[in-house]
């Protein structure tokens, strides 16, 4: 897929960006379903809190009541995981492709002179961390209390450190994917607010 896109665009960086857009377009129905599920779970929070108080001494009954509530509202609590699992093969394939591909060696884009190597100025990993933080802020079931804000900062920082040594092309893929997620969440937030 990357080779085909490169044949048309003649730039590996732009080919990676376009490939990301195509992958995210293909899995959009799953993303929309995941987001809808998150909104429904947000609406159910008061009921879940009520059940937690009611069955605080009976964890088995509490679990059963919450599962029944999800079932009645057609919510799949594992729905959020599927979209991540579907993207993992693309992520891993791209990681190995960028790390081992001779064609990508010394191919440049912007300030990066080798998309198969780490960003020499570390701009992409930092920008990727910022996009992760923005995703956390546009996620509907994210309660922005002090604890969650600290967790969001910490997770973004860990990912920045983790991606410092990843191939620039892979970080570019991740940034593009995050930007698409932010746009989708903003659009879907407006859609569900109107509903």
Tell me the per-residue pLDDT of 37-94, one tens digit each, with 9 for 90 and over: 777 777 788 888 888 888 888 888 888 888 888 888 777 666 666 666 777 787 788 7
Q: Is residue 58 part of a domain?
A: no
Report long-range pairs for 73-81 (Cβ below 8 Å, ≥24 apart): 73/40, 73/44, 74/40, 75/37, 75/40, 75/41, 75/44, 76/37, 77/37, 77/41, 79/33, 79/34, 79/37, 80/34, 80/37, 80/38
Q: Is residue 18 part of a domain?
A: yes
Q: Is residue 137 part of a domain?
A: yes
**32 token code pair:** 């929309």
* Mean pLDDT rounded to a whole number for the chain: 79
In this structure, of 17-21, 85-89, 129-133, 158-162, the range with the lowest mean pLDDT score is: 85-89
Confidence of residue 175 (pLDDT cuts 50, 70, 90): very high
Average confidence (pLDDT) over 91-118: 76
| pLDDT value, residue 149 | 59
Q: Which residues fall within 8 angstroms of residue 10, CB to CB, at 6 or more apart?
A: none
Selected residue with higher pLDDT from 169 and 138:
169
DSSP state of 102: S
Q: Is residue 176 part of a domain?
A: yes
Domain that holds residue 8: 2-42+80-194
Distance from C-alpha of 99 to C-alpha of 95, rounded to nearest angstrom:
6
Beta bridge partners of 109: 112
| pLDDT value, residue 91 | 73
Taking phi first (over 0 means left), then psi (-120 to 50 degrees means alpha), and beta for anything else, what does residue 122 get? Answer: left
Q: Which of 119, 172, 130, 174 is nearest to 153 (CA)?
A: 130
- Maximum separation of any 2 CA atoms in the chain, in Å: 63
Q: Is residue 174 part of a domain?
A: yes
The answer to whether 75 and 40 are in contact (CB under 8 A) is yes
Q: Is residue 127 part of a domain?
A: yes
Number of domains the chain is built from: 1
**50 token code pair:** 């009520």
Q: Is residue 111 part of a domain?
A: yes
DSSP state of 117: S
Q: Kindly compute the dihedral angle of the four CA atoms of residues 183, 186, 190, 193, in this order, to the nearest 10 degrees.
A: 140
Q: Which of 85, 87, 187 is nearest to 140 (CA)?
A: 187
Q: Is residue 25 part of a domain?
A: yes
Average confidence (pLDDT) over 159-167: 85
Question: Model confidence over 5-38: pLDDT tens digits?
Answer: 888 988 888 988 998 899 888 888 877 777 777 7
| pLDDT value, residue 194 | 57
Selected residue with higher pLDDT from 146 and 80:
80
């Amino acid at each position: 897929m990357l080779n085909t896109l490169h044949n048309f665009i003649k730039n590996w960086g732009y080919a990676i960006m376009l490939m990301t857009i195509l992958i995210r377009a293909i899995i959009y129905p799953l993303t929309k379903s995941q987001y809808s599920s998150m909104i429904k779970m947000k609406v159910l929070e008061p009921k879940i809190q009520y059940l937690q108080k009611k069955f605080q001494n009976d964890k088995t009954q509490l679990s059963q009541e919450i599962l029944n509530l999800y079932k009645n509202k057609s919510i799949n609590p594992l729905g959020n995981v599927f979209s991540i699992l579907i993207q993992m093969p693309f992520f891993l394939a791209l990681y190995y492709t960028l790390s081992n591909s001779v064609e990508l060696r010394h191919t440049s884009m912007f300030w990066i002179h080798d998309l198969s190597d780490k960003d020499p100025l570390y701009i992409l990993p930092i920008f990727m961390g910022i996009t992760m933080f923005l995703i956390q802020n546009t996620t509907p079931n994210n309660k922005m209390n002090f604890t969650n804000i600290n967790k969001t900062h910490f997770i973004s920082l860990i990912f920045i450190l983790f991606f410092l040594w990843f191939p620039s092309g892979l970080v570019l893929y991740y940034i593009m994917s995050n930007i698409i997620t932010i746009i989708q969440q903003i659009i879907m937030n407006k859609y569900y607010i109107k509903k």
